[in-house]
Structure 1
Amino acid sequence: MQAFPHSTTESPTAVAVPPSLALPVIESRFPRRLHPYWPRLQEKTRHWLLEKRLMPAEKVREYADDLRYTDLMAGYYTDASEDVLQAIADYSAWFFVWDDRHDRDIVHGRVGDWRRLRHRLHAALDAPRHHLHHPDPLVAGFADSVLRLYGFLSRTWNQRFARHFHAVVEAYDREFRNRTRGYIPGVEEYLALRRLTFAHWIWTDLLEPGAGCELPESVRKHPAYRRAALLSQEFAAWYNDLCSLPKEIAGDEVHNLGISLITHEGLTLEEAVDTLRRRVEDCVEEFLDAEREALEFADALADGTFRGKELSSAVRICVGNMRNWFSSVYWFHHESGRYMVDSWDDRSTPPYVTNEAAGEK
């Protein structure tokens, strides 16, 4: 089917979703939206990747647009201002490049390189301005994107974002150690780790600059808001696991909910796929209930005061963007060259990455 039947873009995309991965509820009940800034967003993020030397020029020319990183963000934070969306999209592109570096460091046993990068990211998160010209492009690019994100809301929001991303870096370190040891975490251990490596709370934090309003803790931690936010992120992580399971089994991966189910629950591959799919489908249905409760919560915030009206409007925008995440993630997995492993010359090496160690030794 056509992914953008009513799109404002110049080139709507028609994709065929494999029956085993098709979710009719997404296609019918989660219409896909796209920020009108998207064509310019794609162009500017491509230039940013080149400017920051995050990918070699030939890789950017050949692969950047087909990876569709900007599509993912433009389909998520659809109410963000253009400068906020640009900062989020550049940060997201950086995140994918970082994920690839992490994977290559594991594959090639570059323990020292990873250790240095881990410490530098922690330092850049706390003092991004001091790392803008770091010799490792990944550190400098991270500092640039974080500094821009820090400019939209208050210092309190910045500190929360930093706290959440420090935890993501440490989770990536645990994943590094698990993979180098061949350790497959149990189901509950994996689910807790996945919430960090998928950066659930980072993408949720970014809903706020996307809505142009920092939410107080009483709103962010209200059960109705938090449940809807968590379900939107769980769907994305589990659907990613469903789509990548055959590839990750073939590549001797250890981090996938299906792999944990097979190893620790004694499921067959087919049973693990069925269980994963059922979890994903249940997550969608649960979100529809949570969304209704979150919108009722938003209505209750409108207490006749200016602040109440502001918070109510912001929560409605955030919940609407949580809904966007379902369709954006779903179509991204079927359009992005990141997941078209059957078209790669070497299934173990994505064509858009470089295997050389990067950064200062």
Structure 2
Amino acid sequence: MGSQILEPQTMADILRGQTIHVPDLLGIFRGWPVMANAHYDDIASVVEGAFDRLCKSPTMREKYRRANYARFVSLYYPHPNWDRIPTLALYITWLFCWDDAIDQQGSKLSSNLLHAQSNRAHTLRVLEQVLNIAPFANSLVEYDEVDAELETIGEQLQKFYTFEQRRVYMAHMRTYIENCDKEQSYRLEGTLPDLESYKEMRHGTAAVWTLCALIEYGLGENMPEHVRYMAEVQTLWSETSRAIWITNDILSLKKEIPQSSSTTESIINAIPILVSECGVSPQQAVETLLRELVVSVATFEKAAAILLEAVGQERREWMQTYCDACRCMVTGSIQFTYESTRYGLAGCLNEDGSLSMVL
């Protein structure tokens, strides 16, 4: 994996104060649905209860409540009936808490790589156990308050998923966690990966593949086996992930720039990498990413058309819903980012749906 030495303070100074203009991102995904689950109030109760158990800091709990992660769940999984929603809501809540425990500046794991690596290794052991795919099933692992939520999630997935489906989910969880380790290492070293290495890493840290692996659970019906292993299914997941991490990198850059003018940590984001590697302005970096989004949409739609043909008339409606479930993750991610206090975009949105962000 390539990396380049970059002075973090210099990059922060280059970005800080720049104005980024972003067109209406939902316009790039024209025709893709924006939907919300009908069970929002019930989702909110599940999410609130999970945050009460997972987060001991009253300040952080209040921050999470203001960010409205129940809205995130409802936008990401608009199709599932209520019986499937609590598990999905628990997983997403756990994901935010687990990620923030390492990613939030000032946390005890954020600046201690060895401690964070130990935490990640423990989480992987817990996941293998609760999904019942551990190599040594009798070697019980103790749960901390964050990982304990995974037991409930694992019980549900054991009930409704085959061993192979659980194995796939675990593989993507491992990819997510291992890439979080790479990202933290770059951040603490004050270095950046090269662009291609970053893209590969970002597919992991976005955790979108793990969310896609739960779509069948949410819909309550499995994909036809002759379709499951078609390359186009992986293309759907890959392009869903690509669209989400690109739009997230653009929209979250404002909150990622450190307030301190003496930072030693890198801003791990595609825009500073493009600025450094290609010698472009931040605005030009955004435009490069927008062009990649257009390609991503076309690639997704081509794969979706092939899958709709492959399932036959009997399962065509279900396959259309499956493809829409992926599309809703993309549009839901954008919509949530616009609305949530987590990203601080209030005041940046223009009447035509575009954004003007002062970094």
User: Which band: TM-score by shorter chain?
Assistant: 0.7 to 0.9
CA distance in 1, matches of 2:64, 2:142: 23
Deviation digits for residues 205-245 of structure 1 (CA, Å, limit 9, x no counterpart)? 11111222333664234243332332222111100001122
Aligned 1:8-23 pairs, distance under 5 A: 20=22, 22-23=24-25
Provide the C-alpha distance between the structure 2 equivalents of 1:57 and 1:146, rounded to a whole number of angstroms.
Answer: 28
Which residue is 1:279 aligned to? 292
Pairing of 1:84-123 with structure 2 (within 5 A): 84-104=84-104, 105=107, 109-123=111-125
Counterparts in 2 of 1:77 and 1:137: CA distance versus 1, 3 Å = same
Structure 1 match to 2:171 = 163
What's the counterpart of residue 329 of structure 1? 333
- Call closer, same or farther: CA 1:180–1:80 in 2, change over 3 Å: same
Q: Distance in 1 between matches of 2:140 and 2:47?
A: 20
1:300 aligns with 2:297: no
1:146/1:253 CA distance change after superposition, 3 Å: farther
Q: Does 1:339 align with 2:352?
A: no
Letter in 2 for 1:302: G
Structure 1 residues 341 and 319: CA distance shift in structure 2, 3 A: closer
Return the offset for 1:162. Answer: 1.1
Q: Contact 2:109–2:116 at 8 Å: present in 1 too?
A: no
User: In 2, distance between residues paired with 1:341 and 1:24?
Assistant: 16
Aligned ranges for residues 1-361 of structure 1 at < 5 Å? Answer: 20=22, 22-23=24-25, 25=27, 29-50=31-52, 52-57=53-58, 59-60=60-61, 62-104=62-104, 105=107, 109-128=111-130, 134=143, 136-215=144-223, 218-250=226-258, 252-287=265-300, 289-290=301-302, 293-302=303-312, 309-310=314-315, 312-340=316-344
The answer to whether the 8 Å contact 1:91/1:146 transfers is no
- Find the aligned partners of 1:334 and 1:24 in 2 and give their Cα distance: 11
Instruction: Note the alpha carbon deviations across 1:159-217, whole angstroms, 9 max, x for none.
Output: 22112212211111111211111120111100000111112321221111122233366
Aligned residues: 314
Give deviations 1:130-152, integer Å, cap 9, x for gaps: 87972x32222233333333332
Give the structure 1 partner of residue 16 of structure 2. Answer: none
Q: CA deviation at 1:111?
A: 2.9
Question: Which deviations, in whole Å up to 9, do the C-alpha atoms of 1:297-352 show, x marking residues without a partner?
Answer: 3243227xxxxx35x44422210111212221111111112111789xxxxxxxxx
Write the distance in 1 (CA, Å) between the matches of 2:27 and 2:100: 31
Residue 10 of structure 1: aligned partner: none
Q: Distance in 2 between matches of 1:200 and 1:219?
A: 20
Partners of 1:255 and 1:218 lie apart in 2 by 39
Could you say what secondary structure the match of 1:36 adopts?
A: coil
Q: Sort the Cα spacing of 1:152 and 1:81 in 2 relative to 1 into closer, same or farther, 3 A.
A: farther
1:317 maps to amino acid: T
With 137-146 and 323-332 compared, the bigger mean Cα shift is at: 137-146
- The more displaced of 91-100 and 19-28 is 19-28
By relative contact order (CA 8 Å, sep 6+), the higher-ranking structure is 2
Is the 1:131–1:140 contact (alpha carbons within 8 Å) kept by the matching residues of 2?
Answer: no
Pairwise CA distance, 1:107: 7.6
Q: Structure 1 CA distance, aligned partners of 2:306 and 2:193?
A: 38
Give me the TM-score of the superposition, normalised by structure 2.
Answer: 0.77
Residue 42 of structure 1: how far off its partner (Å): 1.1
SS of aligned partner of 2:191: coil
Q: Which amino acid aligns with 1:160?
A: V
- What residue identity is the alignment partner of 2:37? H
Change (3 A) 1:106 1:295: farther
Counterpart secondary structure, 1:214: coil
Q: Is the 2:54–2:97 Cα contact (8 Å) retained in structure 1?
A: no
Measured in 2, the distance between the counterparts of 1:336 and 1:72 equals 9
Shift of 1:101: 0.7
- Do the aligned partners of 1:84 and 1:152 also contact (CA within 8 Å) in 2? no
Q: Distance in 2 between matches of 1:81 and 1:133?
A: 32
Give the TM-score of the pair, scaled to structure 1.
0.77
Secondary structure of 2:77 counterpart? coil
* 1:98 alignment partner AA: W
**Identity fraction in percent:** 22
**CA–CA separation in structure 1 for the residues paired with 2:175 and 2:26:** 35
Structure 1's unaligned 5+ residue stretches are: 1-17, 304-308, 344-361
